[in-house]
Amino acid sequence: MADNQNGNEGDLHPLALLMDELKHDDIANRVEAMKKLDTIAIALGPERTREELIPFLTEVAQDDEDEVFAVLAEELGKFVPLVGGSQYINVLFPTLEILAATEETLVREKALASLNKVVKDMTIEQLLHDYVPLLDRLANADWFSSKVSACGLFKVVISRVKDDTLRKNLLALYSQLIQDDTPMVRRAAARNLPSIIDQLRENPGLSCEDDWEYVSEMFKKVITDNQDSVKFLAVESLIAILKFFNAKGDSSHTEALLAYALKLAKDEAWRVRYMVAEKFEDLADEISQLDKVVDHLLEPFLSLCEDNEGDVRKAIAGHVSGFSKHIKDASIIEAKIIPAIYTLSIDENETVRASLAQSITGMSSLLPKESVTENLLPIVLNMLKDEFPDVRLNIIASLKNINKVVDTKILSESLIPAINELAKDINWRVRMAIIDYLPVIGEQLGKSFFDEQLIDLCMTLLWDPVYAIRNATVKILTKLTEFFGSDWCRDEILTKLLTVDAETLENFIYRFTVLSALRELTSAVSSDITLEHILPYIVKLSDDKVPNIRFNVAKAYTVICENLKNNKTKNLKEIFEEKMLPSFKKLQGDSDVDVKYFANENLEKCQLLIN
């Protein structure tokens, strides 16, 4: 008996340890204890996890800090196998229900995510017996937080309920939340309504006329809500409804749905107009599938372009080409859209211009070549001179679209000055951004253009005072080599790198930069160029007075050996023993510990490669 009791005490140890850790004054320790729940559950086994650990956690969920609750809520989503499988999922509900009712948003979101996750493993009988009652309790609770959580739990059950009466009751319950007295609840219900509509669309066998009567009434409640923070969510619900009817091939509701879109676009609340502008391309895509009514959206589009709120103009500016693709008549684009684009391009709000810069070049595929040159190109070229760096960067990033129809020489007259200005910007992040675009420009405009206009800029950025810029430039030169070829690298990059004047190289940062560039470029050039140009220079650097450079020489030798082996260089072993091994031996005897370490490590790597 005593042995059994001792054994039981030993078995209880994981839970006792958890209980002890959760009494700790420090919240961080209690959070860490919660992160070990799966380990505790495994140690206890499924039965004791159900009978002892879960009830204990239910008590904990009523008295601790939000940081602890958030971890607990997330961990419970992983507990289905730990409690013995899907037949025992319901034992997790009491704890998750408490957490779903807390005031802290993060805790509720974690609890909802876990509930939605575990419910997927439940049978329809379990849903009806355990989940639907939980949903009903949350939706009819007195406190707003429970109702807010309930709004996020309907989508997983709507699609699985085959009984029309039960689904009707669930939709009626959701409609009750849509009309709740508390704006926070109505907002949560409006936010989750599109996902419910999507479930009905994706499971057409479930849909009946009663379903859509409820959905229609709920949508009308949202679109007429007296709170802007609720009403603007009607836009996504409208898109979801449009998708539903598109899937059915039903255009009988087109006129009514279009009227709703026009009403939202003219709403007096700027947040509602902003959401319409933000989702305008999606609206146009769905409306255009129902019928040829997209032309009715032209005036609302132009109105949003002239909206008195900068955020609205910013949102619509990003969709100029996305909307314009639905207008088949180029003359309408020229007469209506281009003037609106020009106005946006000189908008006083720099974020509006930056947003337009991301989408304007997409217009080039919608217009005849002559029209692009005459009407669109002047706007683009002017934006390349914009005082706000993001505008110029966004234009440069999307040049590929317009380059297909515009002569490179015309474009380069404004492109090069813009790039040069960005490369000199006082903000190093702007300089970094332009580096990232250099390969794109090289690919779009070709090698001859790049050599003539941009190669000197690349070399200038290679000596930038900011290490991140120098390092990024090295990597970009390697990408350009992969694109333009080894001979280009030899003629345009290596000749400049290997002839940097001695005075400049007095600064070890420049020597290190040259070494880094050579090591990176080795992976992209031919073995002949490696042996003839790169290896001799690196061997000379093995005598450098700076240890950091010497041990990076050892690392460079490994890259060189990889290059030679990949290119199936003849007499690789002889080349290594003649050109690199003497240097390695010298580095192995170096007075610096790090140099010796990396010399030994990379010598071993090289020997494995050549043997």
Q: Rounded to whole angstroms, how far apart are CA atoms 11 and 29?
A: 23
Question: CA-CA distance, 410 to 416, in Å (whole number)?
Answer: 11
User: Do residues 330 and 366 lie in contact, with contact meaning Cβ atoms separated by under 8 Å?
Assistant: yes
The model's confidence at residue 3, banded by pLDDT at 50, 70 and 90, is very low
pLDDT-derived band of residue 518, with 50, 70 and 90 as boundaries? very high
- Reported as a single tens digit per residue, the pLDDT across 222-246 is 999 999 999 999 999 999 999 888 8
CA dihedral 208, 210, 211, 213 (to 10 degrees): 130
Two tokens at 445?
């405009």
Torsion angle defined by CA atoms of residues 60, 66, 68 and 74, in that order, rounded to the nearest 10 degrees: 100
- Residue pLDDT, tens place only, 123-141: 888 888 999 999 999 999 9
Q: Are 302 and 333 in contact (CB under 8 A)?
A: no
Burial (0-12, 13-18, 19+ Cβ within 10 Å), 568: exposed
First-to-last CA distance in the chain?
68
Q: Residue 281's pLDDT is what?
A: 93
Give the CA radius of gyration of the chain: 33
pLDDT digits (tens, 9 = 90+) for 255-267: 888 899 999 999 9
Give the C-alpha separation, 86 to 275, whole Å: 41
Return d(Cα 448, Cα 453) in angstroms, integer.
9
The CA distance from 65 to 103, in Å, is 12
| Segment 323-343, tens digit of pLDDT | 999 888 899 999 999 999 999
* Beta carbons of 281 and 322 less than 8 angstroms apart: yes
Q: Which two tokens stand for residue 195?
A: 């996902």
Output the pLDDT for position 7: 39
Tokens found for residue 62: 């009523």
d(CA 252, CA 183): 33
- HSE of 200, CA atoms in CB hemisphere, 13 A: 28
What is the C-alpha to C-alpha distance for residues 6 and 549, in angstroms, rounded to an integer? 64
- Per DSSP, the three-state class of 155 is helix
Structure tokens at 317: 């500016």
pTM: 0.75
Rounded Cα–Cα distance for residues 270 and 304 (Å): 10
Distance CA 231, CA 268 (A): 11
As its CATH architecture, domain 485-610 has: Alpha Horseshoe (1.25)
The per-residue pLDDT for range 37-53, each reduced to its tens digit, is 888 888 889 998 899 88
Predicted confidence (pLDDT) per residue in 140-176, tens digit: 998 899 999 999 999 888 878 877 788 888 999 999 9
- Local confidence band at 12 (pLDDT 50, 70, 90 cut-offs): very low
pLDDT tens-digit profile of 451-477? 888 888 888 899 999 999 999 999 999
